[in-house]
Each structure stands twice: as C-alpha cells, then as structure tokens.
Amino acid sequence: MSAHCQLTGRVPGFGNSVSHSHRRTSRRFDPNIQRKRYWLAGEGRHVRLTLSAKGIKTVDAIGVEAAVARIRARGGKV
C-alpha cells in the first residue's frame, strides 16, 4: 500500500536520523495511513479509502459524501 492519503494528499517526508556522535543516516517519516470502509449512501455501496489520521477526522467532520466528492475533484478514483 502506498503511504499517501487520498483525501489530504499527505505523503512521506524524508530526512536524517542523527546519532549521538552526530552521524547522519537517511530515514523516512511516514504518515499514519489507515484503510477505512465507509457506506456511500448516494451510490448504495461501500467504499474503501486510504486515509491518514487527519483524513479520517476530516471525513467525520464533513461527511463521507463530501469527502468522496473532494477525492474525485482531485482526480482520484473511488
């Protein structure tokens, strides 16, 4: 599963781990990605969305219909 949110567009960030001796090695900061299943009443079916934790809170606030509309406006497939 790719680590990007369908709703907010969050993707991994990259940086360095810095040890006590100050040596640097590459690392990756992944967003908190979850797969959630929602009932889409307008289409009479379930949809499975790949969302970050912030994306899940956004769906709770605006509703699944509006969230799917935003995803489709960005060109995403649902």
- pTM for this entry: 0.85
Q: What percentage of residues in the chain have a pLDDT greater than 90?
A: 95
For position 1, what pLDDT does the model report? Answer: 53
CA 56 to each of CA 14, 17, 19: distance values in angstroms, whole numbers, following the listed order: 23, 29, 34
What pLDDT is stored for residue 2 in this prediction? 77
